[in-house]
Amino acid sequence: DAKTTQPPSMDCAEGRAANLPCNHSTISGNEYVYWYRQIHSQGPQYIIHGLKNNETNEMASLIITEDRKSSTLILPHATLRDTAVYYCIVRVGGSQGNLIFGKGTKLSVKP
Amino acid sequence: DTAVSQTPKYLVTQMGNDKSIKCEQNLGHDTMYWYKQDSKKFLKIMFSYNNKELIINETVPNRFSPKSPDKAHLNLHINSLELGDSAVYFCASRVESGANVLTFGAGSRLTVL
């Protein structure tokens, strides 16, 4: 499985965009990039995923570089409730793709 | 309605006891999971299960056993509890053939004294 590297922590001002980077230089062609987050004491929550193209949903945008070796999760207008640990996971799809969580990035949104 | 529900939310018990944590999903998903989150906050997969196959993480002691009475339930039984079993246990589910979009439960905090 491709390994991911994320900064251990980041700060963001409330109302500003939060840009969370993830390196996955060994990603293979059939592996997707997934983002989850875990707000304190809650279960992990799916945010977004992508293969090659940039993706956007109601929660966030995912920007994947053309060589697919890195990606950025963008929360366009961070709120205090976005304070959480964000996990970037690279994995194949289907039944063989059980998610393995790393250490993630602790995002602190500050007033 | 809660999509993935776990009971109990909190469980405090003595070493050596046997306990169960129940999980139910009403999403019609095919595959269910148990994850363990220890005091250092690492989330580790323990089991994945669908109606065809149980996949066990090889690091999980055989004191832990998943039991699935039907597709909507995956219960976790733990025998001879040890101090190191103290953790938060998360149940999750997904559609088998789709992307890895898991829906997690709220977690069950187990404390072994």
Which pair of tokens denotes residue B86? 């103290």
Kindly provide the residue ranges of all beta strands, DSSP E only, lying in B4-61, ordered along the sequence: 4-7, 10-13, 19-25, 31-37, 43-49, 54-56
* Residue in A30, A100, A17, A97 with CA at minimum distance from that of residue A63: A17
* Residue in A36, A24, A19 with CA at minimum distance from that of residue A67: A24
Dihedral over alpha carbons B69, B43, A99, B25 (to 10 degrees): 30
Q: What is the pLDDT of residues B20-44, one digit of tens each?
A: 999 999 999 888 999 999 988 889 9
The whole-angstrom separation of Cα B86 and Cα B11 is: 10
Sign, CA dihedral A47-B85-B6-B78, equals: positive
- pLDDT of the residue at B11: 97
Mean pLDDT of A77-97: 85
Please check the confidence at residue A14 and state whether its pLDDT lies above 60.
Answer: yes
Higher per-residue pLDDT: B96 or A87: A87
Q: What is the pLDDT of residues A21-58, one digit of tens each?
A: 999 998 988 889 999 999 998 999 999 999 998 999 99
CB contact under 8 A, A101 and B42: yes
CB contact under 8 A, B100 and A95: no
Whether chain A has a CB inside 8 Å of the CB on B9: the answer is: no
Angle B54-A45-B1 (CA atoms, 0-180°, nearest 5)? 85
Q: What is the pLDDT of residues B62-112, one digit of tens each?
A: 999 999 888 899 999 999 999 999 999 999 998 766 677 899 999 999 999
Farthest CA pair distance, chain B = 41
Please check the confidence at residue B14 and state whether its pLDDT lies above 90.
Answer: yes
Per-window interface: B 56-85 vs A, CB < 8 A: none
How many Cβ contacts (< 8 angstroms) between chains A and B? 58
Q: What is the pLDDT of residues B87-99, one digit of tens each?
A: 999 999 987 666 7
Whether chain A has a CB inside 8 Å of the CB on B97: the answer is: yes
- pLDDT of the residue at B84: 94
* Residue in B69, B70, B51, B47 with CA at minimum distance from that of residue B59: B47
Mean pLDDT of A50-72: 95
Percent of chain A with pLDDT over 70: 94
Which pair of tokens denotes residue A6? 């994320």
Q: What is the pLDDT of residues A39-48, one digit of tens each?
A: 998 999 999 9
Whether chain A has a CB inside 8 Å of the CB on B104: the answer is: yes
- pLDDT of the residue at B96: 67
Contacts of B43 in chain A (CB under 8 A): 38, 44, 87, 101
* Residue in A41, A80, A82, A38 with CA at minimum distance from that of residue A59: A82
The whole-angstrom separation of Cα B43 and Cα B64 is: 17
Contacts of B97 in chain A (CB under 8 A): 94-95
3-state secondary structure A69-83: CEEEEEECCCCHHHC
Chain A residues interacting with chain B (CB cutoff of 8 angstroms) = 32, 34, 36, 38, 41-46, 49, 85, 87, 89, 91, 93-95, 97-101, 103
Higher per-residue pLDDT: A67 or B95: A67
The whole-angstrom separation of Cα A93 and Cα A52 is: 14
Q: Which of B35, B44, B99 sits opposite A93 (nearest CB)?
A: B99
